Amino acid sequence: MGLSKSKQPDRLVSLLLLTLFACLFAVVTSTTSSTGVHLPEHITQSGTPAQAKPLPPPARWRGLIGEYGPDNDILIVLEKDGKLFALFKRVDLQPLDEISKNIFKFPVRGPHARQTLIFKRDSHGRATEVALDAVINKRRQIEPEEGANQLRVKPLRPVPDLMKEARAAAPPKEDGEFLKLDLVELTKLDPTIKLEIRYATTNNFLGTIFYSEARAFMQRPAAEAVVRVNHKLRQQGYGLLVHDAYRPWYVTKVFWDATPDDKKVFVADPAKGSRHNRGCAVDLTLYDLKTKKPVEMVSTYDETTGRAYPDYPGGTSLQRWHRKLLRDAMESEGFTVYEAEWWHFDYKDWQRYPIGNLTFDQIGANARKMRSWRLTLQTLAGACCRRLVE
């Protein structure tokens, strides 16, 4: 059936508006998706709203968040969506109703109905224990000491002795063909990448200086991928802060020999070599471009506790949001996170490179030698060209 003349203009206007909207939608979609895998924080790849950046929890809760109880019955107190929760054995998550600064109750309905949590704090406002009705659960001492940013591990043997042995040892022999080492310095590719190389200081888990210089090297493709991640994050107000990258094999051997057996999941077996030794692993976090300070994550760097795992459920919503932001950005450029450390990322081609044992000084010397050879070849080429012209 045909349209009357009076209705035809309305129909045409509607069709034009629909067409215009479709074109605008296509342009916006293609523009946002062409910038890379990781889109701005408020949009997912499907175009639906993602979780917005959470607000920090109230200051009065900060001293309560943590772990309590024995190894076989851990209670995690965490913040989620602006509310405090109690997580029993990592499976039973229960919201808490705040009665006062130190007293919380569970909902009327549920397995802990009418039970009360009463926290006891120290002079700094940090909880030292929590009473679940009559049961006292002591705070688990898993965090660094007050005011510190590094958890220490007592080495099995004196580190200087282990260092001497490691420097005299040789890396494991490997079969197969590998790509040549092409270690480049991250900050020379992108000066906005910040460094806090803990192993060039005593502020690390073994309290010993391992590197003569605070520098970070990676194989060129991996380094270029890190630079791309840094550029993506800058659009969201963050930059990368690197703690470690290429690591000589002998340092890996010291780490392994010094670390107790129950914490060896956090260090690499020197018999196999580390992905750090291959120049394809990087330890990093985020820093805020406005404040220039590192963001707060669920755990501190190089922390040998369960909080270091990338799926650890504790902490605050903002800490977990930052952890996910970093992981998503790194995965978008071919990195995978290590199962026990949220800060450790391995580049996709790590198997193609051999185990390295060069010190930072030797890497610098090799780079200077290569530059010298290039200059010599350029000079010879120029001289040949001039003679041909003559």
* 54: pLDDT strictly greater than 50: yes
pLDDT at residue 19, as a whole number? 46
User: 298, 305 in Cβ contact below 8 A?
Assistant: no
* 341: pLDDT strictly greater than 90: yes
pTM of the model: 0.80
pLDDT at residue 60, as a whole number? 96
b/e map 330-351, b = 16+ CB within 10 Å: bebbbbebbeebbbbbbbeebe
Q: If you average pLDDT over residues 77-88, what whole number do you get? A: 97
* Alpha-carbon span 287 to 298, nearest angstrom: 14
- The alpha-helical segments, DSSP class H, found in the chain are 8-33, 59-62, 159-168, 186-189, 220-234, 249-258, 317-331, 360-389
Confidence category of residue 21, pLDDT binned at 50, 70, 90: very low
Mean pLDDT check: name the lowest of 38-52, 88-102, 117-131, 183-197: 38-52
Q: If you average pLDDT over residues 127-155, what whole number do you get? A: 88
pLDDT at residue 147, as a whole number? 64
* 63: pLDDT strictly greater than 90: yes
Condensed to tens digits (0 to 9), the pLDDT of residues 261-319 reads 999 999 999 999 999 999 999 999 999 999 999 999 999 999 999 999 999 999 999 99
* Alpha-carbon span 278 to 264, nearest angstrom: 20
pLDDT at residue 45, as a whole number? 34
Confidence category of residue 385, pLDDT binned at 50, 70, 90: low
Q: Residue 8: phi, psi to the nearest 5?
A: -60, -45
Q: Are strands 92-95 and 97-98 parallel, antiparallel or unpaired?
A: unpaired
* Alpha-carbon span 374 to 302, nearest angstrom: 40
* 37: pLDDT strictly greater than 70: no
* 364: pLDDT strictly greater than 70: no
Give 147 or 65, the one with higher predicted confidence. Answer: 65
* Alpha-carbon span 335 to 344, nearest angstrom: 10
Q: If you average pLDDT over residues 121-146, what whole number do you get? A: 91
The fraction of the chain above a pLDDT of 70, given in percent, is 79
Confidence category of residue 389, pLDDT binned at 50, 70, 90: low
Condensed to tens digits (0 to 9), the pLDDT of residues 225-247 reads 999 999 999 999 999 999 999 99
Q: If you average pLDDT over residues 360-382, what whole number do you get? A: 61
pLDDT at residue 16, as a whole number? 44
Q: If you average pLDDT over residues 373-377, what whole number do you get? A: 50
Q: For the chain, how long is the longest CA-to-CA vector?
A: 99
pLDDT at residue 133, as a whole number? 86
Give 22 or 168, the one with higher predicted confidence. Answer: 168
Mean pLDDT check: name the lowest of 44-58, 78-92, 197-211: 44-58
